Amino acid sequence: MVLKVGLDGNVVSKDSTTKHNTYETAQTETSGVTKEDTSSTSNTDTLATNGVPYNGTDAMVHSGTEVASNDTNGDAPSQITVPSWINGVEETGPSTFDVISPYTNIACWSSTSATPADALRAVDAASAAFPAWSATKPTARRDILLRAADLLEERTEANAEIMRTEMGADVGASQFFVVPLAIKMLRDVAGRITSVCGSVPTVEEEGQSAIVYKEPMGVILGIVPWNAPYVFGIRSAATALAGGNTTVLKSSDLSPRCYWAIGRAFADAGLPAGCLNIVSCRPADAPAVVNAMIAHSAVRKINFTGSTSVGRRIAKEAGMQLKPCLMELGGKNSAIVCEDANLDIAVQSVIAGAFLNSGQICMSTDRIVLHSAIAPAFLAALKSALSSAPPSDAPTLVSAASKARVQSLVTSSLAAGAHLIHGSVDAEPDEKASSIRLAPIIVGGAGDEDPLWLEESFASLAACRMVSSDEEAVQVANSGGYGLSAAVFTEDLRRGFRLAKKLESGAVHINSMTVHDEPVLPHGGVRNSGWGRFNAAQGLEEFLVTKTVTWKD
């Protein structure tokens, strides 16, 4: 599928005849997709949360009663409460927190806030389910995962609407990117289940034989973020389940209903109770909830996707328990534009890489590294493309705190001598004040120690710097300690490969943007961007343990 990305970073159209991970922008094209009005959603059907199959419409439980679809009319929080999934049962507890929609900056619904005791019950449920699930034949596990994928596909529009409401994603990013990618990942890992096999090495001693098994690990704890919830939930939970493990997801407090929808699909697909458990909690309770689960003796591995700072704390707790981690952390991703680059491709890819999903992607282009010979032409084309776009809604950020942080980064950088290439940090018009939006900003001249240059922005913000050689470009791109994704734009493929080998990054994309994720490609970083890999055969191996057995003939 080709997604065309408008100049504000929103996906404007799709071509289902090609791969989903390819993106196009056009200098004369802006967002032609109108964001769906999430201020009033109405479904005719309702859902009892006591095991009745979900049919793609939305409803939740409130105080034990069945409630119709959310109606975020801008006046009051909805009466929907997102439940936890524990041992196959949707539970609402006395403690809840509001989920704020970035589109309205008011509560769209509330979510059950799990306590450490609730989280430990979820781990206990996963532990109790593990013996039977790990003994299930691979084909049976495969069929359940494929049924869950079919259900998620049937519910694409409804699930994408939940994502738009909770995190402010546009129609293209939610309905045509994140949800379809998650479904493809689920089908891919389901297809890999029957390929798991060991080996029969030839040992040294005469009369002795050996076999090497691949076995499930046990209970896997997944700690997952808000910005691409269906992708992160699937790659964490489904990969663990595919390997014969059971799992607990600690979902983000910003997108709990998206993760609920994943649990609903697996339950309706016939996944046995306890195999997948999902809890969320208010931010203040997260350290106690997560640490309690990490310390539980049944948890054998932790996977975390999120910021480097939080990843350090989780890795420390896991290390104290001598438990392995899979960490996909932040990135400060560079796009190197060589003097022989195709200007149109480079400009289009930088715009898409920087502003898709409002820049709220771990692989987003944070740094634009320009060879000085092409810099004037590139910047002129970039500014023309951004400035000539007809007015459209600015990208939506997930929270007011995120916007305030980015505005502070830009203001401080400008005060230290940087300059604006595009955009501003001026206040929004009054009519937009009720939502959380930030128009694209590109800054030039940020210093080596400038937080804007060093820190992951996670917003519609990029910094630009000029260099005089490939060696300097590599040095600039490798500075700062991150290493998740990078891009190189050149018409000389050999040059692209030479640069790719020198870049300290988990992935390098030649003549395409830094945002690139698909089921067949291992995904992960190096240095401060983490370790281990999701996706493909390497991702499945992360959730298996190797056992050696020898015997005398």
Write out the chain's pLDDT in tens, 553 residues: 434 444 344 444 444 333 333 222 322 222 232 333 333 333 323 232 333 334 444 434 333 223 333 333 333 445 799 999 999 999 998 999 999 998 888 899 999 999 999 999 999 999 999 999 999 999 999 999 999 999 999 999 999 999 999 988 888 888 998 999 999 999 999 999 999 999 999 999 999 999 999 999 999 999 999 999 999 999 999 999 999 999 999 999 999 999 999 999 999 999 999 999 999 999 999 999 999 999 999 999 999 999 999 999 999 999 999 999 999 999 999 999 999 999 999 999 999 999 988 899 999 999 999 999 999 999 999 999 988 766 566 788 888 888 889 999 999 999 999 999 998 886 554 444 566 888 899 999 999 999 999 999 999 999 999 999 999 999 999 998 999 999 999 999 999 999 999 999 999 999 999 999 999 999 999 999 999 999 999 999 999 999 999 999 8
The b/e string for 427-458 (b: 16+ C-beta within 10 A; e otherwise) is eeeeeeeebbbbbbbbbbbbeeebebbbbbbb
Same domain, 261 and 124: yes
Q: Identify whether 64 is part of a domain.
A: no
What's the CA gap between 484 and 493, in Å, rounded?
21
**Are the CB atoms for 456 and 355 separated by under 8 Å?**
no
- Does 417 fall in a domain? yes
Place of tokens 């098994």: 213
Q: Are residues 322 and 447 in the same domain?
A: no
Residue 63 lies in a domain: no
| Residue 132: count of CB within 10 angstroms of its CB | 12
Rounded distance between C-alpha atoms, residue 325 and residue 335, angstroms: 29
The dihedral formed by the CA atoms of 258, 263, 265 and 268, expressed in degrees to the nearest 10: -150
Do the beta carbons of residue 302 and residue 318 sit within 8 Å?
yes
Question: In which region does residue 413 sit, left (phi positive, over 0), alpha (psi from -120 to 50) or beta (all else)?
Answer: alpha
Identity of the amino acid at 167: M
In a shared domain, residues 340 and 480: yes
3-state secondary structure of 200: coil
Residues 191 and 253 in one domain: yes
Please indicate, yes or no, if residue 30 is contained in any of the structural domains.
no
Total structural domains in the chain?
A: 2
CA–CA dist 224, 99 (Å, integer): 16
Domain CATH for 412 = 3.40.309.10
* Pair 313, 462 in one domain: no
Domain with residue 199: its CATH number is 3.40.605.10
The dihedral over CA atoms of 317, 322, 328, 332, expressed in degrees to the nearest 10, equals 70
Residue 46 lies in a domain: no
User: 336 and 460 in one domain?
Assistant: yes
Question: Hey, CA dihedral for 91, 95, 101, 102, is it positive or negative?
Answer: negative
Say if residue 342 is in the same domain as residue 485: yes
Contacts made by residues 95-99, CB under 8 angstroms, sequence distance 24+ = 95/282, 97/253, 97/281, 97/282, 99/166, 99/253, 99/254, 99/255, 99/256, 99/257
Question: What tokens were used for 402?
Answer: 């995120």
0.85 surpassed by pTM? no
Position 357 in a domain = yes
Residues carrying an active site annotation: 328, 362
58 found inside a domain: no
398 falls within a domain: yes
Q: What φ, ψ does residue 60 adopt, rounded to 5°?
A: -140, 180
CA distances from 136 to 132, 211, 262, 272, 274 (A): 6, 21, 21, 11, 14
For residues 461 and 541, membership in a common domain is answered with no
Quick one: 248 and 360 in the same domain?
Answer: no
Same-domain check for residues 295 and 201: yes
Query: What range defines the domain where residue 343 resides?
Result: 331-520
User: Are residue 414 and residue 336 in the same domain, yes or no?
Assistant: yes
Q: Name the residue among 147, 229, 247, 132 with its Cα closest to residue 190.
A: 147
- Give the pair of three-digit tokens for residue 51: 């095991």
Residues in the chain: 553
238/199 same-domain check: yes
